[in-house]
Amino acid sequence: WVQEEAPDVLCLQETKCVGPAVPPEVRALPGLPHQFWASPEGRPGYSGVGLLARHEPLSVTYGIGEEEHDREGRVVTAEFPALYVVAAYVPNSGRGLVRLDYRRRWDAAFRGYLARLDARKPVALCGDLNVAHQELDLRHPRANRRSAGFTAEEREGFGALLAAGFLDSFRHLYPALPHAYTFWTYLGGARQRNVGWRLDYFVLSRRLAPALCDSKIRSRVLGSDHCPITLLLAL
């Protein structure tokens, strides 16, 4: 699928492996020779993100510059001539919302990080953001009011990011499209029945809106409990 899609930049979330353990078939993906991997400190098999690029970035950084949040290997940022691309795997609030307080601190810190980038150059954030922003973004909103990913606190955190000068590219183009999900639990045939959540996003600096051609959910692509998403920009 990656070879068919032929992206200029490929962002991977929840890779669960350190750089040397990346499978050789991923390292050898044609057209994506520049590869950057973040992984958590001392926690193999947890978290992790990767950013693979057709063209060499001007610079690459890891984390968001705050020790509390950078131990888990959740962010890679690549600077290109026209924009920053940020690959991110946002913390899950966990069963019983045991990490909700941490998640709220993360949301505020990450929003500040993106705003600082945006002050220098436009930003395209790609990632599993672990939040369904609107009721439209999951099949059963009423039953999930206090479920991780749909709490008022997490939804407000995402809303604050949009208010800080960013847009949800998919909803910008398709504001009322129902049943558009990127994640389905493996339990109960959820994917076959399309009982899902939209947790994966391309979030853009608002001034990139004129360059936005499309934001696609590739729901037919199998191989994970998430599906890929694709952003098309004319830069």
Residue 214 is predicted with a pLDDT of: 98
Tell me the three state secondary structure of residue 154: helix
Please give the domain boundaries of the chain with CATH numbers for all domains: 1-233 (3.60.10.10)
Q: Is 107 within any annotated ligand binding site?
A: no
Active-site option among 118, 133, 181, 226: 226
- pLDDT of 41 reads 82
Residue 20 is predicted with a pLDDT of 83
Annotated catalytic residue 89: yes
The 10 Å CB-count burial string (b at 16+, else e) for 20-35 is eebeeebeeeeebeeb
Position 140 scores a pLDDT of 97
**Residue of 107, 128, 137, 168 with catalytic role:** 128
Task: Record the pTM.
Answer: 0.97
From first to last of the 235 residues of the chain, give the pLDDT tens digit: 999 999 999 999 999 988 788 999 999 999 999 999 999 888 888 999 999 999 999 999 999 999 999 999 999 999 999 999 999 999 999 999 999 999 999 999 999 999 999 999 999 999 999 999 999 999 999 999 999 999 999 999 999 999 999 999 999 999 999 999 999 999 999 999 999 999 999 999 999 999 999 999 999 999 999 999 999 999 9
The predicted pLDDT at position 208 comes to 98
Question: Do 181 and 193 meet the contact criterion of CB atoms below 8 Å apart?
Answer: no
What is the distance between the alpha carbons of residues 75 and 66, in angstroms, rounded to a whole number?
Answer: 12
The C-alpha atoms of residue 142 and residue 132 are separated, in whole angstroms, by 13
- 215 close to 134: Cβ distance less than 8 angstroms: no
Distance CA 101, CA 92 (A): 11
The pLDDT tens digits of the residues spanning 82-138 come to 999 999 999 999 999 999 999 999 999 999 999 999 999 999 999 999 999 999 999
Dihedral angle of Cα 175, 177, 182, 184, to the nearest 10 degrees: 130
The reply, when asked if residue 128 is annotated as ligand binding, is yes
The pLDDT of residue 106: 98
Identify whether 226 is a catalytic site residue.
Answer: yes
Q: Is 144 annotated as a binding residue?
A: no
pLDDT at position 44 is: 81
Rounded Cα distance, 58 and 179, in Å: 38
The residue with tokens 């899609």 is: 5
